[in-house]
Every structure is written in structure tokens, then in C-alpha cells.
Amino acid sequence: MIKFGTSGWRGIIGEDFTFEKVRVATQGIANYLNKTGQKGTGVVVAYDTRFLSEKFASEAARMLAFNGIRAFLCNRDVPTPCAAFETTRRKAMAAINFTASHNPPEYNGLKFSTSTGAPALPEVTRAIEREIHAVQEKNERIDVYEKRELIEEIDPKDRYLNELRTKIDSDVLHNSGLRIAIDSLYGTSRDYLDYFLLESGAEVKIIHNYRDPYFGGFSPECNEKNLGELRKIVSNEKYDLGLATDGDADRFGVIDERNRFVSPNVILALLALYLKRERKIPGGLARTVATTHLFDAIAKKLDIPCYETPVGFKFIGELILQDLVAMGGEESAGMSMHGHLPEKDGILACLLVAEMVARRGKRLGELIDEMYKEFGTYYSKRFDMKLTTSVKQSLAAKLANPPDEIEGLRVRDVNTVDGVKLIFDQQTWLLFRVSGTEPVARIYAEACSPKDLKKLLDAGKKFVAPG
């Protein structure tokens, strides 16, 4: 059965993710939209650079049109934040985006967003699942006849870039003399991030800025391993910054002038501080339960609220829609800000990093050192452990009755917002989350030194699978 996870429905192309299932899923979405009387001009249909994405999108547009729903079909792959912006700009009733984000190349996915441009909350995706399952249970072949008059091809690029110009100080970038290397990871940010920076007058070098459904043989994820080529360019050619986006450009990656991959948690904290102190953006800060407590330290010093949400940007998106936060971020390199989209925007994040470095007149490494000096050091990491059935059952039992201590560390508080988070002090914690779709336990940890972080992660692994 088709199931929606944290970021929609995903599966392996040709096995789980097929044209027949895409038709069924789209029919279920159409039934949901028609039954619930959603108001709007139609549905934006977008896609990324993955194998067959444009074909899946075209099939979805045909299905929507057959059901009397106008489809605004993008004429090329587009970033997820661009699709979200176009949804709100057109006052569309929803968006269907074919993307598996940073998953390996063999995957594709379908992501449903509401009229606000935000990823659908669980109650909405559960209602859509019920409609999809009702279609599946009929087990009937879905045939459609063409209603081309209800399919309109669109190019949302310029309108989205114009929106970014209202959020980014191009003059600061223009006068900075920054030299920036960009890795598009064969994804959707090509002709977006690079175009904006070039237009702003920065010196830019771009790599992997063409479509490759195999993503060079890697997952299009902005991690340290995948950005090796970008690091070499920054180091060998003395660039000030290296910036990257993942496959659908909703996540970011940053290399500093010292040729170091900078943790997304560190970038998020820097941007939170910058937006509050330099840009004077109103509101508190928001983070997921798995994101650095540097947010809390910053919020405390600035005397503003710090909101904690379950994992999944849709929950932060709700706070942005309510104008409660200046910025929200999640440890997996997702962020957005006040007055922008209730959706992750990796392009915005990269541009804000460039603007911050330009405005402050200091290198990124110096800004990191300054922040650590003021707020203390926070080191964080995530580790995924494969689980056997017996270990999974054992872990569930242990998490139902959390321990009072682990490896000599006393548990001061237990947080069950999403998973089980054992808090030892403000800078030291362990979070266990068991995946609902695969036999994996996700272990998140934060400590005040690399040595303590390793010790904590090792303790977490031992807790999951002793011996």
C-alpha cells in the first residue's frame, strides 16, 4: 500500500514507484481535493532531475485534468522551494512535487503540499492515504482521456528569484568581492543559485550544474563525503566560500575558507544569530527536537522564545505561517525565515550565508569562532543503526521505560516530543528515533567536545544493541 512518510511517498523506481501507482496516488489526491472542497486555481505539478520525473509529472497532470482540476505543469525541473512559492503566488489549492530529495538515484517520490506551500501535516496525508487505499482496493485499471485544456505549462523561475531579491541584500553581495564556488550536485538549483550570485556581482565557479539522473553515482546529499570535489576547489583555488544544495534544493551544504565542511547545525545557529542581531527580523527561533541546543542558548541571551517541534519541517512551517519565528531550522540542513516560505529553502540558506559573510566583513571560520566564544561549543552528530526484529522489539521496551543513567551520565530529563530524548545537561543529550518505514534506529547526540560526543554516541549504540 502507498504510505506517506515524513516527506511524502518514496520508493524505488520500477519496483515500488511505478506509473500505475503514480496514477493511483494522483487519483486519490484528486478525490481528496474534490471531496474536501479545496479552493484554489488548480494544482502546481513540479519535479526534480531524477530518472523519469518529468514523465511522472506529466502523468499526474493528465490525471488531475481528467478529474476536472487544472494542472500547472512546470516546463523543467524546479527547486522544491520554487514550487512552494508558485503554489502560494497562484493561490493554488495544492502542489504535487515528484522528488526524492537527497535519496539515492534509484528512488523517486511524490510530495504533497497544501495551498500555503507547506508540506502537508500528518492529518492531511492520512486522509489522502485513505483515498488512495480506496482506489487501490477497487483494483481497477485507471484509464483517462485527454483534457489538454486543463493543463498549462509554466516557468516559475523568474518570479521565485524576484521573491528572493526581497529577502537578500544584493548590494552587500555586489560590493563584497566574494569568490564563491557552487556545487549543484546535478540537481534543480542550477540556473537559480548560480544565476542569483552572478547577477549580484560575485565571482562564481560552478560544478555539476547539469542534469544527471545518476547524480554522479552518489546520493545528491550535501554531506562531507559528497562535497569532496567542492572542498578541493575551495582549497586549491582559494575561494572564500563553497555552497551546495541537494537534489531538489531544499537543503544546503557549506564549506568554509579553511576547507572544512561546516555542520548544518552550526550554519543554522549562525544564521539565527545573524537574522536576529544584524537583520532585526522579528520573532523567536524554532528547531526540531533533533537540532542543536545552540538555538536555546541564543534565544535565552536574546530573550526570545525557542520553539521545539517534532522532526519534519512541516511543523516548523506552521510556526512560520503564524509569524511566530524569525527563523526555523532542522539538523538535516533545512531552514526558512519570517516572511518567506513554510518550506525548506536551500537556495535561501546559501544566499544568506554569503550575505552574512559579506555584511560582517569576516570569514566564515572567524564567525564560527566568535559564536563559540560567546555561547560555548556544541558538537552534534547522527548515526543510523540497522535493526533486527529482536533488537527493534528490545529497544522499544527499553525506550518505554527510559534509564536513569547511561555510561555514568545521569539523565536529568526525558523528552518524548518525537522519539525518546535523554537530556543530561543543556549541551549534552541523546535522542533515539525508530523509523516507521525501515528497520533503522536513528541516534542523535550533542556534547561540548568531539571526545564527549564520541563517548555519547558509543553509549547510544551500546544502549540500542549491547555487545
**Can 9-155 and 379-464 be said to share one CATH topology?**
no
pLDDT, tens only, 127-148: 999 999 999 998 777 777 778 8
pLDDT, tens only, 278-336: 999 999 999 999 999 999 999 999 999 999 999 999 999 999 999 999 999 999 999 99
Q: What is the pTM of this model?
A: 0.95
- Residue 212: its pLDDT value, please? 96
- For domain 379-464, the CATH superfamily is Alpha-D-phosphohexomutase, C-terminal domain (3.30.310.50)
Strands (E) in 78-227, as ranges, are: 94-98, 107-114, 151-154, 179-183, 203-207
Task: Identify the H or E element spanning 334.
Answer: strand 334-337
For domain 9-155, give the fold: Alpha-D-Glucose-1,6-Bisphosphate; Chain A, domain 3 (3.40.120)
- Residue 205: its pLDDT value, please? 97
pLDDT, tens only, 32-85: 999 999 889 999 999 999 999 999 999 999 999 999 999 999 999 999 999 999
Q: Which long-range contacts (CB under 8 A, 24 or more apart) does 445-450 make?
A: 445/380, 445/381, 445/382, 445/383, 446/292, 446/293, 446/378, 446/379, 446/380, 447/378, 447/379, 447/380, 448/376, 448/377, 448/378, 448/379, 449/377, 449/379, 450/379
Contact 446, 427 (CB under 8 A): yes
pLDDT, tens only, 265-278: 999 999 999 999 99
pLDDT, tens only, 90-132: 999 999 999 998 889 999 999 999 999 999 999 999 999 999 9
Q: Indicate the domain borders of the chain.
A: 9-155, 379-464
Per-residue cell: 104: 539515492
Between the CA atoms of 271, 274, 277 and 279, what dihedral angle is there, to the nearest 10 degrees?
-100
Strands (E) in 155-240, as ranges, are: 179-183, 203-207
In Å, what is the CA distance from 293 to each residue of 48, 182, 297, 313, 380?
A: 33, 29, 7, 17, 10
What's at 57, amino acid-wise?
Answer: A
Can you give the C-alpha Rg of the chain in angstroms?
22
